[in-house]
Amino acid sequence: MSEPILQVANLHVDFQTYGGVVQAVRGVSFDVCAGQTLAIVGESGCGKSVTVQSLMGLIPMPPGRIHQGSAHLRGHDILASKIIDGQDIRGSQISMIFQDPMTSLNPTMNIGSQIAETLEVHKGYSKSDAFARAIELLDMSKIPEAAKRAKQYPFEFSGGMLQRAMIAMAIACEPAILVADEPTTALDVTIQAQILDLLGDLQQETGMAIILITHDLGVVARMADEVMVMYAGEVVERGGVDDIFYRSGHPYTQGLRLAMPTNNQDTEANQTLVAIDGSPPDLFNPPRGCAYHPRCPYAMQVCAEQAPPTRTLGADHQAQCWLHHEMAGALPDGLVSASKVGQ
Amino acid sequence: MLKYFAKRIVLGLVTIWFIASATFFGMHAVPGDPLAGDKAMTAQIRANLEAKYGLDQPLGTQYLIYLGNIAQGDFGISFTQENRRVNDIIREHFPISATLGILAIVFAGLGGVLWGALTALYRNRWPDVVIMFLVILGISVPSFVVAAISQWSLVGLNLATGTAVLPIGGWGTVWHMLVPALVLGLSTMAYLTRLMRSSMLEVVSTDYIRTAKAKGLPATQIFSRHQLRNAILPVVTVLGPAIAGITTGGFVVEIVFAIPGLGRYFVQAIQQLDYTVIMGTTVFYGAFLVFMVILVDLVYGFIDPRVRVEK
């Protein structure tokens, strides 16, 4: 594994509301390496988007507050300042694409100018040079007739085309990291595949890292090198993509996997989908101990009392669960133990 | 695009015809007529006058004659002002009202956008609170009160400084126009400020502003290129009707500041049932407003590309 370019440690993000303090992110740490794809998965409201938006400075403050933790991009503290060497890292070092391309572009500005804008700001291009480059970028993002399309407005584009334009905009300054916040959720399935292919191709060409936020495990299987599973603002399991899919060590990860439809013809095809019981935790008052214990089918007494320690299950594979403790009984089916994995 | 505006103009003409007809029949439904003044006249004189002005004809015939004349751009001769053609009254006095009105609209538009954007930027902080208080005041206080107070203040100012800083009434130079135009535009400015504020607050929380931030654009550029242009759209939309309000509502301000605009004739004519002047001024104002609304739509197309493409 290469040297990480982004290191996030023990990040805590709160929102002060009239109803109290929402603890959206509670101690998240991760590293991102060049050329790798880190997928962050979890149900709605588990803090995936807040984590990356706090790194991008997109959280409105107040009510938002980063009250603990650090984030370093190549050694620079990016929580303290988004400016490195007089340049805003947003758009140049880290760029972002969003869930809904239909509303994420300015409706009164043509597509080319919106892409050109980043180049003018970060690279000091002239207006005409930036527009010419924008056309090349649209072409790289596989938009046909890019020169003509660049002069059009967002309402003249389809959803898939808009997401391509967003990608063109995001890669304009050759960022080290591309954050994709549910990039395919608003698109139909065939377009989803095209967008994911495009992201994969661009990553191959530029060597950028991708942080992919999604709740679609199919997308994870296709794109990710590493996976981080979040629940209630915490990381419950992390590991390589195969660790998460074939050797999951946390009951929540297992629950997500069982809730996913598959078209395998063997064993799992005949099984009915299993929903995870209960509802997401109340982040005004996160449960004591392990946040997942009220919904966990294997919960023990200790789970409700003490937060579980992080257990290493293999190379770069960790889970936070009491089931892996020496004093816990035999592991339930489908969960993998530290001893079984080995090195 | 051309086809679209050709259609708009035809519809505009239909609107003007409707205004003319409604005014014509409404006016004739009012009891009395322009000859029912305080001067006693014999039946013979009255019959002669009626014949001269065509009032002895059946209403339908009068209507058709009238439409014919309007179509040729002839509004006839005033009943109450000896030998004055309505066209001349409009030609002499409308430019004054229009100048005042346009200046008021410029004040209202610029002020509304500026104050609205400011209040949104300083939401819930003191500039917002102060401006929004003044806005409520501007909307609630009628223009004749504001006109009188500002004129009184001008008198005080001129007395205190010993020179005529600004004229307190009349018409002629740019200095005569400033205060009346401000007063005339005030309530519209207040309304536009509120509109701009809410539209600005809406735009600030949209996804594309988040995208602009994620692109690392400087705050000034986000404001000028992304927020302002989108937030201004609803303001432009109401500018058309706002022009209507200002040009027709101008007569109070015109009277307080002794400005020889068209508004006074408009009101006088109705009081005296001066048929031709009522018709002339109403149809003329109506046509002016229809034209302004079409103009605003044209401008709108330049700001919002989504409207531009419509065939």
pLDDT in tens, B221-261: 888 888 988 898 888 888 877 887 787 677 888 888 888 88
Residue identified by tokens 């994709």 is: A180
Read off the pLDDT of each residue in A219-246 and give the average, rounded to a whole number. 88
CA distance B195 to B234: 7
For residues A109 and B3, the model is more confident at A109
In 3D space, the residue among B103, B112, B301 whose CA is nearest the CA of residue B200 turns out to be B112
Across B289-298, b (16+ Cβ under 10 Å) vs e yields: bbebbbebbe
Q: Which residues of A touch B216 (CB under 8 A)?
A: 82, 87-92, 118, 121-122
CB contact under 8 A, B216 and A90: yes
Band of the pLDDT at A270, cuts 50, 70, 90? low
Helical ranges in chain B per DSSP H: 2-29, 43-53, 59-71, 86-121, 126-140, 143-161, 174-204, 207-214, 219-221, 228-231, 233-248, 250-256, 263-272, 275-303, 305-308
Q: Is A85 left (phi over 0), alpha (psi -120 to 50) or beta?
A: left
pLDDT in tens, B292-301: 888 888 887 7
What is the per-residue pLDDT for B171? Answer: 82
Choice among A271-275, B82-86, B167-171 with the minimum mean pLDDT: A271-275
Q: Which residues of A touch B228 (CB under 8 A)?
A: none
pLDDT in tens, A249-262: 888 888 888 888 77
pLDDT in tens, A52-89: 888 888 888 778 888 888 888 888 888 877 777 777 88
CA distance B307 to B311: 9
Q: Which residues of B touch A121 (CB under 8 A)?
A: 215-218, 221
3-class SS of residue B158:
helix
Which distant-in-sequence residues (6+ apart) come within 8 Å of A336 by Cβ?
A: A247, A248, A249, A313
Share of chain B above pLDDT 70, in %: 96
Whether residue B282 has pLDDT greater than 80: yes
| A95 vs B214, B226, B306: nearest CB | B214
CA distance B156 to B81: 38
Report the Cα–Cα distance between both ends of chain B, in Å, rounded: 5
| A58 vs B210, B304, B305: nearest CB | B210
Please report, for chain A, the start and end positions of each structural domain, with discontinuous segments joined by +. 4-224, 230-341
Share of chain A above pLDDT 90, in %: 8
pLDDT in tens, B179-212: 888 898 888 999 999 999 999 999 988 889 989 9
In 3D space, the residue among A225, A228, A222 whose CA is nearest the CA of residue A248 turns out to be A228
CA distance B28 to B168: 40
CA distance A315 to B58: 103
Share of chain B above pLDDT 90, in %: 17
| Residues of chain B contacting A, Cβ within 8 Å | 206-208, 210-218, 221, 225-226, 229-230, 233, 303-306, 309
Read off the pLDDT of each residue in A136-152 and give the average, rounded to a whole number. 89
Q: Which residues of B touch A108 (CB under 8 A)?
A: 229-230, 233, 303-305
Judge if the upstream peptide bond of residue A309 is cis by omega within 30 degrees of 0: no
3-class SS of residue B77:
strand
Amino acid at position B86, single letter: V
| A58 vs B214, B226, B303: nearest CB | B214
For A117, the closest chain B residue by CA position comes to: B217
Whether residue A272 has pLDDT greater than 80: no
Give the Cβ contact number of residue A189 at 10 Å. 8
CB B240, CB B292: distance < 8 Å: yes
| B215 vs A91, A107, A109: nearest CB | A91
B60: burial class by Cβ within 10 Å (0-12, 13-18, 19+)? exposed
What is the per-residue pLDDT for A252? Answer: 87
Q: Residue B183: what are its φ and ψ, rounded to 5°?
A: -60, -45
Band of the pLDDT at B39, cuts 50, 70, 90? low
What is the per-residue pLDDT for A341? Answer: 42
Give me B20's structure tokens: 């003319």
3-class SS of residue B168:
coil
Pairing of strands A177-181, A94-97: parallel
3-class SS of residue B205:
coil
In angstroms, what CA-CA distances link A311 with A241, A257, A321, A336, B202? Answer: 18, 20, 7, 12, 47
CATH of domain A4-224: 3.40.50.300
Band of the pLDDT at A211, cuts 50, 70, 90? very high
Give me A162's structure tokens: 């808009």
pLDDT in tens, A321-333: 888 777 776 677 6
Read off the pLDDT of each residue in B12-33 and give the average, rounded to a whole number. 88
Band of the pLDDT at B37, cuts 50, 70, 90? low
Please report, for chain B, the start and end positions of each structural domain, with discontinuous segments joined by +. 92-308
Which distant-in-sequence residues (6+ apart) come within 8 Å of B287 by Cβ?
A: B12, B16
CATH top class, domain B92-308: mainly alpha
Q: At what angle do helices B233-248 and B86-121 cross, to 10 degrees?
A: 140
In angstroms, what CA-CA distances link B124 with A4, A64, A88? Answer: 43, 18, 29
Give me B215's structure tokens: 């692109």
Q: Which residues of B touch A100 (CB under 8 A)?
A: 207
Give the Cβ contact number of residue A18 at 10 Å. 5
Give me A243's structure tokens: 């660790």
| A104 vs B211, B216, B306: nearest CB | B211
CA distance B121 to chain A (A): 14
Tell me the CB-side half-sphere exposure of residue B267, using CA atoms within 13 A.
Answer: 12
What is the per-residue pLDDT for B107? Answer: 92
Q: Tell me the pTM.
A: 0.78
Pairing of strands A83-84, A94-97: unpaired
Secondary structure of chain A in the HEC alphabet? CCCEEEEEEEEEEEEEECCEEEEEEEEEEEEEECCCEEEEECCCCCCHHHHHHHHHCCCCCCCEEEEEEEEEECCEECCCCCEECCEECECCCEEEECCCCCCCCCCCCCHHHHHHHHHHHHHCCCHHHHHHHHHHHHHHCCCCCHHHHCCCCHHHCCHHHHHHHHHHHHHCCCCCEEEEECCCCCCCHHHHHHHHHHHHHHHHHHCCEEEEEECCHHHHHHHCCEEEEEECCEEEEEEEHHHHHHCCCCHHHHHHHHCCCCCCCCHHHHCCCCCCCCCCCCCCCCCCCCCCHHHCCCCCHHHHHCCCCEEEEECCEEEECHHHCCCCCCCCCCCCCHHHHCC
pLDDT in tens, A279-322: 888 888 888 888 888 888 888 888 888 888 888 888 888 888 88
Q: Which residues of B touch A56 (CB under 8 A)?
A: 213-214
Band of the pLDDT at A268, cuts 50, 70, 90? low
Give the Cβ contact number of residue A315 at 10 Å. 12
